[in-house]
Amino acid sequence: MKKDVHPENYRLVVFKDMSNDYSFISKSCAPSSETTEWEDGNEYPLIKLEISHKSHPFFTGKMQLVDTAGRIDKFKNRYSKQKK
């Protein structure tokens, strides 16, 4: 295995699914400017996710609409102007 290929700054990070407020903790080296307090009382870096295994239709078995950035409203506004 090649040396100096993988980063060495792995630490515990909280990942939060913003569509359903599900959070889990895992090791990561991804940068984050936000922090949050975990269940154990310690503060960890926070990485916000748009979708996770708790909200993805493949894992949940049901289709649910995840509109994280108002994409549907933007689409309707854009094309409602052309109807008139």
Query: For 47-72, how does the pLDDT look when each residue is reduced to its tens digit (9 = 90+)?
Result: 998 887 777 666 566 665 555 567 77
Half-sphere exposure of 21 (CA within 13 A, CB side): 0
What DSSP state is assigned to residue 68?
Answer: S
Model confidence, pTM:
0.64
Least confident of 14-18, 34-38, 64-68, 79-83: 64-68
Report residue 84 as tokens: 């008139």
Average pLDDT of every residue of the chain: 81
Whether the CB-CB separation of 38 and 14 falls below 8 Å is answered with yes
- Tell me what pLDDT residue 24 has: 93
Q: Residue 37's closest CA among 27, 52, 23?
A: 23
User: Which range in 1-5, 41-45, 51-55 is most confidently predicted, on average pLDDT?
Assistant: 41-45
Query: Residue 30: how many CB atoms within 10 A of its CB?
Result: 11
